[in-house]
Amino acid sequence: MTPIQKVIYKKDKQIKPVWLMRQAGRYLPEFREIRRINTNFIDLCLNKKKVKEITLQPLKRFNLDAAIIFSDILMVPYGLDQDVNFKKNYGPVLGELKLQNIHKVTYKDFTNKLNPIYGSLKTIKKDKLLKNKDLIGFVGGPWTILVYMLNKKSPKKNLNKLIKDKKLTSELLEIITDFLCVHIKNQVKSGASVIQIFDSWAGLVKNSDIERNIYNPTKKVINFIHSLKIPAICFPRNIDDYKEFVDTIKPDVVNIDYRVNPTKIVSNIKIPVQGGLDPKILLTNRKNIKSKVQRYLDIFQNHPYIFNLGHGVLPQTNPDMVEYLINTVKNFK
Ligand code: CP3
């Protein structure tokens, strides 16, 4: 069993595996060097050799328990024939959404277009750095993918205008959910031992819409992951009610964001928990990092817990501080 599977299936409270969202990324000089030369981000995500190299970069440096495939949640809109670009210092920019194009995409077309991702997973899985470690595959939550496909960039806050067409949004959510399942199945077949669902914009949904936009489509994805006998980690970032989410969706692990009180979470939520620490803590000093890490580990001492952050590692983070954080988790008694 892998470290994360031990936490989930054996409810092992002693081992506290550690990995970090965005553990491969711009805070690492060796990533920035590759990125400088590979200016097209989508092409980079489809470059098997480079994806393997980038995925393994943090494992070469740090004592991590898992690798997460270097890819992006927006590879799914790309697979669905919507243009996706990443503008420097701006973020993702998607092309016009053409429903007639999306309708023409078959599961086979989609799988062929994203095939290098699955090839990367297969070779990463075989690497000796992955021995006794998890290989995490991932997708965006159906809602978050819908937001990007309609809004064509990261949203600010007001999405009312965007989702007023209920017929269009429910049709799209259904298509997205189906293709997310295809992407998950392909990743699991290629060696992913766990799937994380990043619902980064879950916090933007009004309570009255949560059933339709989050719960129903996410439940379908979770049931599908469970049919493959693989655990699912959900990250409904900034959602108001993590307990209701867990009770409704029944993921294997829930990743919490840094705004929620971990003490409340530990008393309300029975399933394994992941993450929580504010990534900005990594921009401070060792003493502060140590005390904040210990706080989470103390709170979750008698709870199945996977150490991680409450969002991704920030680009301006010093890799020495990441190393210090991971060693602090590993040396915690
Ligand atoms: O975590 C990892 O190390 C695996 C790789 C990974 C990336 N994106 C690589 C990436 C993962 C898991 C993601 C998920 C992702 N992508 C999310 C969900 C998590 C979250 O951050 O909320 C979202 C919303 C996206 C969409 C996306 N991709 C945005 C908004 C941006 C630009 C801004 C940013 O956060 O960097 C990206 C680009 C991106 N994806 C980069 C990386 C390393 C930066 C690429 C670069 O400019 O060099």
Q: Tell me the two tokens of residue 12.
A: 């092992």
* Atom 36 of ligand 1, residue of closest alpha carbon: 91
pLDDT class for 10, splitting at 50, 70, 90?
confident
* Atom 40 of ligand 1, residue of closest alpha carbon: 72
pLDDT of residue 11: 81
pLDDT class for 27, splitting at 50, 70, 90?
very high
DSSP for 158-178 reads: --TTTT--HHHHHHHHHHHHH
Three-class secondary structure of residue 136 per DSSP: strand
Please tell me the distance between residue 251's alpha carbon and the centre of ligand 1 in angstroms.
22
Percent of the chain with pLDDT over 70: 99
Instruction: Give the span between the Cα atoms of 165 and 287, in whole angstroms.
Output: 51
Q: Tell me the two tokens of residue 85.
A: 């670009």
Instruction: Give the span between the Cα atoms of 315 and 312, in whole angstroms.
Output: 9
* Atom 30 of ligand 1, residue of closest alpha carbon: 91
pLDDT of residue 212: 95
Q: Which helix H or strand E contains 42, and what residues bound it?
A: helix 41-45
Please tell me the distance between residue 309's alpha carbon and the centre of ligand 1 in angstroms.
15
Residue 333 has pLDDT above 80, yes or no: no
CA 21, chain centre distance (Å): 7
> For 164-217, how does the pLDDT look when each residue is reduced to its tens digit (9 = 90+)?
888 999 999 999 999 999 999 999 999 999 999 999 999 999 999 999 999 999
Three-class secondary structure of residue 277 per DSSP: strand
Average pLDDT, rounded, for the chain? 96
> For 70-124, how does the pLDDT look when each residue is reduced to its tens digit (9 = 90+)?
999 999 999 999 999 999 889 999 999 999 999 999 999 999 999 999 999 999 9
Q: What torsion do the CA atoms of 194, 234, 179, 217 make, to the nearest 10 degrees?
A: 140
Q: Strand 253-255 to strand 232-235: parallel, antiparallel, or no bridges (unpaired)?
A: parallel
Sole residue written with tokens 């393997």? 52
* Atom 31 of ligand 1, residue of closest alpha carbon: 91
Instruction: Give the span between the Cα atoms of 221 and 145, in whole angstroms.
Output: 13
| Domains with residue ranges and CATH for the chain | 3-330 (3.20.20.210)
Instruction: Give the span between the Cα atoms of 61 and 43, in whole angstroms.
Output: 25
Nearest atom within ligand 1 for CA of residue 31: 48
In this prediction the pTM is 0.97
Nearest atom within ligand 1 for CA of residue 23: 3
Please tell me the distance between residue 71's alpha carbon and the centre of ligand 1 in angstroms.
8
Three-class secondary structure of residue 191 per DSSP: coil
Instruction: Give the span between the Cα atoms of 196 and 289, in whole angstroms.
Output: 26
* Atom 43 of ligand 1, residue of closest alpha carbon: 25
Sole residue written with tokens 């409340």? 264
Residue 160 has pLDDT above 80, yes or no: no
Instruction: Give the span between the Cα atoms of 261 and 243, in whole angstroms.
Output: 12
Give helix 29-37 / helix 48-61 axis angle, nearest 10°: 170
Probe target for ligand 1 pocket from 18, 20, 22, with the most ligand atoms within 8 Å of CB: 22
pLDDT class for 226, splitting at 50, 70, 90?
very high
Q: Strand 84-87 to strand 134-140: parallel, antiparallel, or no bridges (unpaired)?
A: unpaired
Residue ranges lining ligand 1, Cβ < 6 Å: 21-26, 35, 41, 68, 70-74, 86, 91-92, 138, 154, 198, 200, 312
* Atom 28 of ligand 1, residue of closest alpha carbon: 72
* Atom 1 of ligand 1, residue of closest alpha carbon: 22
* Atom 39 of ligand 1, residue of closest alpha carbon: 72
Probe target for ligand 1 pocket from 20, 42, 57, 73, with the most ligand atoms within 8 Å of CB: 73
pLDDT of residue 7: 95
Nearest to 135 by CA among 3, 270, 276: 3
Probe target for ligand 1 pocket from 23, 69, 71, 72, with the most ligand atoms within 8 Å of CB: 72
Please tell me the distance between residue 30's alpha carbon and the centre of ligand 1 in angstroms.
17
Q: How far is CA 306 from CA 13, 27, 51, 145, in A?
A: 10, 22, 25, 26
